[in-house]
Amino acid sequence: MNKLLIALLLLASLPAHAERIKDIASINGVRSNQLVGYGLVVGLDKSGDKTIFTGQTLRNLMGKSGLTLPPGVDPKSKNIAAVSVHADLPAFAKPGQKIDVTVSSVGDAKSLRGGSLLMSPLRGADGKVYAVAQGNLVVGGLSAGGQDGSKITVNNPLVGRIPNGASVEQTVSTPFEQGNELIFNLNTADFTTANRMVESIDKALGAGTASAIDATSVSVRAPADVNQKVSFAAILENIEVTPDDAPAKVIINSRTGTVIINSKVRVQPAAVSHGSLTVTINENPQVSQPNPLSDGNTVVTPQSDVTIKEEKNHMFVFNPGISLDEIVQAVNSVGAAPSDLVAILEALKSAGSLRAELIVI
């Protein structure tokens, strides 16, 4: 069993597999849009919040329904909660279609379980209303407490979802219908992959059909007619391309100790010796008890035993251009922990022996 938390990305050592364009790239402008709104959840079992803005929201809601509360009167209802509502509006979504929404408490409510969201407009970044949400919440969390103050919480009771809880009110225009070209953006920028995409498209549809704009974007000549453009896009997205291997990288998560090394990492000649000191401190307090009938006081004298142990790890040598598997075997041979591995990799990078980008997150 490997004692290090190392994810070995050995895909590059296997035969390269072709991927569909739809799996490695997206059409420019064809994307989802974020929507957000504010609303009120009602029908809670005394688990609502007590914030001022919740009372103001209820007052405004009652005013729109023709009910007027006396000035200065706070409804102080425990069955309502102010919430934030957000959703993703898919590309090409049409008025009347349904989308899922997520509802989150913004006050001090205890739980949203069993509540219903009242009609809440959802706006885009431009301030326009693109959907309206309403419906019963599905809350996976549960919270319960006793009179003695004990409490148990399962998952998060302050966040819920409403499947198909919002109706789309207007469509977001996209550049897909405009012009006589389609631009594909790679999910990961790479000059080699972009060039291979151009070659694959030209091979399938004829020379000069595609051209690379940069390491991310590839422009493809397309029909101006929308119906033909849809069929053309369907053909394009199923063309297979062999992506290039990722650059040599070592990624270190400083919080979890996880180290990821891809198979393109190489190490130049270097000798490494890694050991650690273990310091142990034992406290053995000594009690001095005075004789009977004496005027002395009992005194506790601290006594510390400090021992230092140094592990005797052997030095190992990295030969020129060794592979990922050899790196891992060499590091494991000295029994290095994840924190020790980080120190070794940083030292190799500083010495110029690590031929890879070292990223600490």
Mean pLDDT of 174-181: 85
Q: With bands split at pLDDT 50, 70 and 90, how would you rate the model's confidence at 180?
A: confident
pTM value surpassing 0.75: no
User: What is the structure's pLDDT at 357?
Assistant: 78
Mean pLDDT of 172-188: 88
Distances in whole angstroms, Cα of residue 10 to Cα of each of 207, 214, 246, 261? 35, 28, 11, 9
Among 261, 254, 253, smallest CA distance to 348 is for 261
pLDDT at position 37 over 90 = yes
Contacts of 340 (CB under 8 A, 6+ apart): 274, 276
Question: What is the identity of the amino acid at 116?
Answer: S
Contacts of 243 (CB under 8 A, 6+ apart): 16, 19, 24, 188, 190, 193, 196
Q: With bands split at pLDDT 50, 70 and 90, how would you rate the model's confidence at 25?
A: very high
**Mean residue pLDDT across the chain:** 78
User: What is the structure's pLDDT at 9?
Assistant: 38
- Architecture of the domain made up of 179-241: 2-Layer Sandwich (3.30)
Among 51, 25, 9, smallest CA distance to 325 is for 9
Distances in whole angstroms, Cα of residue 159 to Cα of each of 53, 107, 252, 317, 337? 19, 12, 32, 54, 39
Q: With bands split at pLDDT 50, 70 and 90, how would you rate the model's confidence at 349?
A: confident
Instruction: Determine the Cα–Cα distance for residues 114 and 143; give it in Å rounded to an integer.
Output: 12
Instruction: Determine the Cα–Cα distance for residues 43 and 28; give it in Å rounded to an integer.
Output: 44
Greater model confidence, 110 or 304? 110
Greater model confidence, 273 or 219? 219
Residue 203: its H or E element: helix 191-205
User: What is the structure's pLDDT at 307?
Assistant: 55
Mean pLDDT of 44-54: 80
How wide is the angle at C-alpha 271 spanned by C-alphas 265 and 274, nearest 5°? 95
Q: With bands split at pLDDT 50, 70 and 90, how would you rate the model's confidence at 336?
A: low
Q: Which two tokens stand for residue 157?
A: 């009771």
pLDDT at position 282 over 60 = no
**Domain regions of the chain by residue span:** 33-168, 179-241, 249-360
pLDDT at position 348 over 80 = no
User: What is the structure's pLDDT at 308?
Assistant: 47
Instruction: Determine the Cα–Cα distance for residues 280 and 282; give it in Å rounded to an integer.
Output: 7
Q: Which two tokens stand for residue 95?
A: 């008025």
User: What is the structure's pLDDT at 166?
Assistant: 95
Length of the chain counted residue by residue: 361
Q: What is the DSSP string of 41-80?
A: EE--SS-----HHHHHHHHHHHHHTT--PPTT-----SS-
CB atoms within 10 A of CB 255: 7
Contacts of 93 (CB under 8 A, 6+ apart): 99, 168, 171, 172
User: What is the structure's pLDDT at 47?
Assistant: 80
